[in-house]
């Protein structure tokens, strides 16, 4: 016969699960689009933790969609293949040779690594790109940048079919052109377009920073769209945060209920955001 005394850690764990109930009920059946990039893709340990979080979300009734980047892996492969890139105003020109490598790395190496990690935690994940089932049709974003696309038409029917079978879609940010081209899409832009097409309850943009910061350098936990515009105009929001907040505003305008910019380096960041009172990062809502 085994005996065991209850200790404080066990009691705290039970209390945490108990307090999560309203949020589990709140997100039952909800669609949550997660843009994965940065630190969460940088190590096997971080990937395993992220995959476990996503499987838990699906287990409790959330419909997660993972959209990933892969810039460092693309750069490494281009270097390995000795493919030289041109730059226009600091942006890489994606020529035909480059976009072939981009597709190989994103749809192959990176996408299947994430799929395998989720399946390894007991989930059912399927890897796609925006080219599959005409999920994302693109226009050329800027002729000077080559095969860089801007989503123009979306058909999320394939994603709803996957939700109906408890499958977690993992999507590489590539799209099809109207003349059969392959276009590379910025990962945040692709995630925003997918969230908009799905009218998602949440778009979570995982980054390597803790959220949107005010002029004093403090993370602002909740903002309205108008405040984001004001902070951009006065220079408080600058640099790499600008495209993320622009993606957030576009998604909100298209019917996404709320967008969160949060630190993907934090353990269980996605679960903290969805299933706790305090959340994580910066929650952005419509005006």
Q: Which two tokens stand for residue 198?
A: 């799905």
| Cα 7 from Cα 35, distance rounded (Å) | 38
- Nearest CA to 240 out of 71, 33, 67, 94 is that of 71
Cα–Cα distance list, 66 to 51, 58, 104, 170 (Å): 10, 12, 18, 5
Q: Which residues contact 32 (CB under 8 A, 6 or more apart)?
A: 57, 62, 63, 64, 65, 200, 201, 202, 203, 204, 274
Angle between helix 187-198 and helix 241-253 axes, rounded to 10 deg: 10
| Residue whose pair of structure tokens reads 């989930």 in the numeric block | 123
58 is known to lie in a ligand binding site: no
211 is known to lie in a ligand binding site: no
| Cα 243 from Cα 205, distance rounded (Å) | 11
285 is known to lie in a ligand binding site: no
Q: Which two tokens stand for residue 21?
A: 């109930």
180 is known to lie in a ligand binding site: no
Q: Which two tokens stand for residue 27?
A: 């997100």
As to burial, measured by CB atoms within 10 angstroms (0-12 exposed, 13-18 middle, 19+ buried), residue 12 is: exposed
State the binding site for substrate. Answer: 70-71, 92, 184
State the binding site. Answer: 70-71, 92, 184
């Amino acid at each position: 016969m085994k005996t065991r005394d209850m200790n404080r850690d066990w009691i705290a764990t039970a209390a945490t699960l108990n307090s999560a109930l309203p949020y589990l009920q709140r997100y039952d059946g909800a669609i949550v689009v997660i843009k994965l990039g940065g630190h969460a893709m940088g190590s096997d340990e971080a990937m395993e933790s992220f995959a476990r979080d996503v499987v838990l979300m699906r287990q409790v009734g959330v419909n997660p969609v993972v959209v990933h980047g892969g810039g460092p892996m693309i750069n490494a492969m281009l270097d390995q293949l000795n493919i030289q890139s041109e730059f226009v105003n600091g942006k890489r020109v994606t020529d035909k040779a480059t976009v072939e490598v981009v597709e190989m790395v994103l749809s192959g190496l990176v996408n299947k690594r994430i799929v395998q990690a989720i399946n390894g935690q007991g989930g059912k994940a399927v890897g796609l790109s925006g080219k599959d089932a005409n999920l994302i049709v693109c226009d050329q974003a800027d002729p000077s940048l080559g095969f860089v696309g801007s989503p123009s038409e979306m058909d999320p029917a394939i994603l709803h079919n996957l939700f109906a079978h408890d499958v977690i879609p993992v999507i590489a940010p590539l799209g099809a052109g109207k003349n059969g081209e392959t276009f590379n899409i910025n990962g945040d832009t692709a995630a925003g377009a997918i969230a908009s097409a799905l009218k998602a309850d949440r778009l979570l943009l995982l980054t390597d920073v803790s959220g949107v910061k005010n002029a004093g350098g403090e993370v602002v936990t909740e903002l309205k769209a108008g405040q984001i515009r004001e902070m951009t105009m006065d220079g408080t929001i600058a640099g790499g945060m600008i495209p993320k907040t622009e993606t957030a505003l576009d998604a909100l305008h298209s019917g996404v209920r709320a967008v969160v910019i949060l630190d993907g380096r934090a353990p269980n960041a996605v679960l903290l955001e969805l299933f706790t009172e305090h959340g994580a990062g910066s929650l952005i809502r419509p005006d």
